[in-house]
Amino acid sequence: MTVQEVRLCGLLLQQHFGNVVEKVGTHLIRSGVLTLRALAYETKLPLDLVKKSLCVLVQHGMCTFGAGRRGPAGPVEYRINCESIIHMLRYPRYIYTAKSLYGDTGELIVEEILQRGQMTMSSTVRTVADRLTNNMPEGQSMDYSEVVSAFSRLVETHFLQRCPPLASAGSSSSTLDTPLPAATQPTEPESHPDCYKLPYINLTGQGKRRRSSEGGEADQRAAKKARTDNSECGDDGIHWQVNFQRFHLHFRDQAIISAVSCKLDQSSSEIVRTMLRMSEVTTPAHAAFTQALSSNEIFRALQSSYNIARPNLDQYLSLLVDDPMEFVGKTGDSGGGMYVVNLHRALANLARATLESVVQERFGSRSARIFRLLLRKRHLEQKQVEDFAMIPAKEAKDMLYTLLSENLVQLQEIPKTPDYAPSRTFYLYTVNQLPTARLLLQHCYKTVCNLIERRLYETKENKRLLEKSQRIEAILASLQATEAEAAQLTEVEEMITVPERQQLESLRHHINKLDSSENQVDESIFLLESYIKSTQASR
Amino acid sequence: MAGSRGRGRTQFSFSVDALGFGRGDSLPSTAHTPSPLFPPMQFRPVPLHAGEEVDYMLALKQELRASSKNLPFHIKAARTKTDVARYSDKYQNGEPKNNCIEWSPDWSRMPKELCIKVRKPRKTVIGAKPQLTRKPKVAAGKEEVLQKLETLEKREEEQHSEEEEDEEKKKQNEEEEEPDADEEYDEEEIEDETDYIMSYFDNGEDFGADSDDNMDEAVY
């Protein structure tokens, strides 16, 4: 765990779960694996607080536990999963994707499960139905069956999955058939055969609207009676969690499609979209390319709204294959031509484009030209760089040294003689894509940390003003509820002076900008992380 | 280090023009202060993405942050009272206590050693409760106890249906409670076995510290 990752995890934990969980979490990240007692002793927090924090972390899937070094008889050891903490940065994107695919119901389901970590199907359905009912106009209510159908669609497309079962509960079991998995190997959720099987629950009814106090006795009694049959739905112990990997595959596909549409045109991106959709369920998660699809199959699967005729399809496919970005490759000639989408190569190209744009925006277009040259030609001497890039010697030297000092470019020495005499050694400049991508990823983490800290600082500076405005809003809301006159309302509104109002406005603008930047940096983080993971998977 | 030492001549081992500056040029001046914290940027950054999608995700992010502060997962350490221990401390129940957890996780999925008492949420009842069925004080938390409470609650439901008319007459301002088995458990009245209803007691500490909102609701 790098310094920046630990810092980012700490800030995210503090934002969502408070200082106590942050302290426990960062200490556990730094120490690796610890038992409960050791953790309580080292953080000097009361044991109960440590227990509560660990419960929160386990509930959200950020902490795993297992038998320790002393085997099943010894104390349980805990370790933190840093990746899932950093995923918290991406929660708005997951929720927005669910909304665009499955509408408001899907959005609320994913939001509830993300906020609570794990939930059973019945409690999710109830909560979401109640929330939807509250937003609907008076008299209407959301039926449970609609929510259940949205839930099942999410499970069928693998966006939600069952939480992996534990081999045995905790450390207190004495006779075990299967040994408790060691803390180093958590059970993969996909290894469970029923991972995506929906339980049969008999849950009928409609969402309850949260009524105000004058609502009525009958409603409260009905609410109480409904809750007494909480555990009768038949799905106790089956908890569902969000399948982050599936969302990541979806984001990766989206990135590839938008890259194709930028580079070529809309129709070719539709063809690539069709190809990716056809191989969604058949392609394993870390595959380098999709299943081979024949041109006939693609033609049949194309939606008629795209209006692509058969010969045009073949032309588009050959264009895609010939494109230097190599998104699509041809693997055979049967069935009109067998085509695959090169996933890993596409990711590498997208990462390369990110690196190039970073250099361009920071150092100018001529430095970017040098950078691209070095990426393409691998190793070049200083003289060759100046010639190929067509940049005067002095400026080229300057730019090269700037890039070198930022570690974006490396120097490789090739000696002619055993003593590394400078006059008799070749000095070659080179760019390695993978280490540079890792460097930029750490820069991205540092950027997000800085953005969060700046936002906290801005909020702290203007705390008094923010509290005042919240109080005034509350007064206004209560006055409006009791239908006060306009004169009273304006009087209350004038309690905030004009310069204070301006200050509030600029504060809001800054905080929105900082939040928006976090979301945008997260997109780069996703691309670079996927690229790095894909190179590791192919090793 | 090695260089051909001509007789009587010194020669550097690298040619000077490869260094990047000529003979007569001055070297860059030495730095007397550390580099500035926010150095002026050579190129302005590209403006952020804009659009409906971006705005929606921004709103989602801010909402998530605000709502996560209200969830029971947001853990605040209990305040340690530093001044004199007061009599009212026994009856102040709003603060979080270190040794109970405010939500009920599925204990079968957690290691046994993490199991702590689950705290029942405090009902803020304003107004007299007509039926005060004194239930025996139960120890909270473990599953066997929860089952016992379930049976007790079922027994009380029969009594409850008899006293429906009494309830309808009195005005109640109950908030919705969590779906726990022993929701009828009148914690605030049974705790510490006093005859006083908790919400009636106010030791005046909160006087003046409250904000001006919610003035339309009477508080005893």
A75:B42 CB<8 A: no
Q: CB under 8 Å to B163, separation ≥6 — which residues? A: B130, B131
Q: CB under 8 Å to A118, separation ≥6 — which residues? A: A59, A60, A61, A163, A239, A240, A241, B106, B109
> Which A residues 268-307 touch B at CB under 8 Å?
none
Nearest by CB: B61 against A92, A172, A210: A92
Q: Does A167 touch chain B (CB under 8 A)?
A: no
Find chain B residues with C-beta within 8 A of A118's C-beta: 106, 109
Maximal CA-CA distance, chain B: 120
The pTM score is 0.78
B179:A230 CB<8 A: yes
A364:B42 CB<8 A: yes
For residue A102, pLDDT over 90 is answered with: yes
- Of the given ranges (A51-60, A122-131, A249-258, B114-123), which has the lowest mean pLDDT? B114-123
pLDDT at A185: 42
B57:A519 CB<8 A: yes
CA distances to A147, A382, B5 from B23, rounded to whole Å, are 79, 20, 21
**The CA-based dihedral angle spanning residues B133, B135, B140, B146, taken in that order and rounded to the nearest 10 degrees:** -90
Three-state secondary structure of A319-377: HHHHCCCCCEEEEECHHHCEEEEEHHHHHHHHHHHHHHHHHHHHHCHHHHHHHHHHHHH
Residues in a beta bridge with A426: A414
Neighbours of B140 (CB within 10 A): 16
Which tokens hold the place of B144?
A: 């066997």
For residue A10, pLDDT over 90 is answered with: yes
- Alpha carbons within 13 angstroms on the beta-carbon side of residue A408 total 25
- How far is residue A12's CA from residue A18's CA, in Å, rounded to a whole number? 9
pLDDT at A190: 66
Find chain A residues with C-beta within 8 A of B143's C-beta: none
Asked whether the beta carbons of A470 and A30 are under 8 A apart, the reply is no
pLDDT at B132: 44
Q: Does A59 touch chain B (CB under 8 A)?
A: yes
B67:A115 CB<8 A: yes
Per-residue pLDDT of chain B (220 residues; tens, 9 = 90+): 444 444 545 555 555 555 555 555 666 677 788 888 888 888 888 899 989 999 999 999 999 999 999 888 888 887 776 777 777 767 766 666 777 788 888 888 888 888 887 776 555 444 444 444 444 444 444 667 777 877 777 777 666 555 544 444 443 333 333 334 344 444 544 555 566 666 666 666 656 555 555 555 565 6
pLDDT at A526: 96
Q: CB under 8 Å to A152, separation ≥6 — which residues? A: A198
Find chain A residues with C-beta within 8 A of B43's C-beta: 361-364
> Is domain A3-80 annotated with CATH 1.10.10.10?
yes
Pairing mode of beta strands B117-118, B100-101: parallel
B213:A58 CB<8 A: no
Q: What is the DSSP letter of A412?
A: E
Q: Does A498 touch chain B (CB under 8 A)?
A: no
Mean pLDDT of the residues in chain A: 85
* Closest alpha carbon within chain B to A511: B62
pLDDT in tens, A20-38: 999 999 999 999 899 999 9
* Closest alpha carbon within chain A to B119: A52
Which tokens hold the place of A499?
A: 């310069």
Name the nearest CA neighbour of A229 among A204, A207, A250: A204
Which regions of chain A carry the CATH code 1.10.10.10? 3-80, 246-341
pLDDT at A368: 95
Q: CB under 8 Å to A436, separation ≥6 — which residues? A: A355, A408
The distance of A303 to chain B (nearest Cα, Å) reads 26
pLDDT in tens, A410-442: 999 999 988 888 888 889 999 999 999 999 999
- How far is residue A477's CA from residue A492's CA, in Å, rounded to a whole number? 11
Name the nearest CA neighbour of A5 among A532, A511, A515: A532
Pairing mode of beta strands B100-101, A160-162: unpaired
B64:A92 CB<8 A: yes
pLDDT at B23: 57
> CATH classification of A246-341, choosing from 1.10.10.10, 3.40.50.970, 1.10.3720.10, 3.40.50.300?
1.10.10.10
What are the two backbone dihedrals, phi and then psi, of residue A264, each rounded to the nearest 5 degrees? -105, -110
